[in-house]
């Protein structure tokens, strides 16, 4: 069946294969998800709001069901901020 997914790049139509018992679902999506979350964007938004890296890791764990270390979030935030800085100075 077809599944429409909202991403940071716009809407994407996915063709999800069916199995006999209709139990297959792509591992990168939660069932019935319609939006793919960009962890980097969320990490930067939390950083901009003054949330600590440790607290941001807890929040993302609750929202996404995956545990990110505060070091990983720090690295993601640094990468996004570096890319934004490079974009501004071009």
Q: Indicate if 29 and 15 belong to the same structural domain.
A: yes
DSSP assignment letter at 16: -
Tell me the residue length of the chain: 90
Cα–Cα distance, 88 to 10 (Å, whole number): 23
Token pair recorded at residue 66: 């995956």
Q: Indicate if 49 and 88 belong to the same structural domain.
A: yes
Q: Indicate if 64 and 74 belong to the same structural domain.
A: yes
Q: Indicate if 28 and 42 belong to the same structural domain.
A: no
Q: pLDDT tens digits, residue range 20-66?
A: 877 666 666 666 565 666 777 788 888 888 988 888 888 888 877 77
Q: pLDDT tens digits, residue range 6-22?
A: 666 667 777 777 778 77
Domain range for 47: 38-90
Q: Which among 19, 68, 16 is positioned nearest to 46, based on CA atoms?
A: 68
Q: Indicate if 73 and 51 belong to the same structural domain.
A: yes
Domain total of the chain: 2
Q: Indicate if 52 and 68 belong to the same structural domain.
A: yes
Q: Indicate if 50 and 65 belong to the same structural domain.
A: yes
Q: Indicate if 46 and 62 belong to the same structural domain.
A: yes
Q: Indicate if 32 and 53 belong to the same structural domain.
A: no
């Amino acid at each position: 069946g077809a599944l429409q997914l909202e991403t940071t790049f716009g809407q994407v139509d996915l063709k999800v294969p069916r199995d006999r018992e209709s139990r297959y679902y792509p591992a990168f999506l939660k069932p019935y998800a319609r939006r793919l979350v960009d962890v980097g964007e969320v990490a930067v938004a939390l950083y901009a709001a003054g949330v600590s890296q440790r607290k941001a890791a807890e929040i993302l764990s609750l929202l996404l069901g995956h545990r990110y270390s505060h070091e990983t979030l720090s690295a993601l935030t640094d990468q996004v901020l570096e890319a934004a800085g490079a974009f501004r100075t071009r």
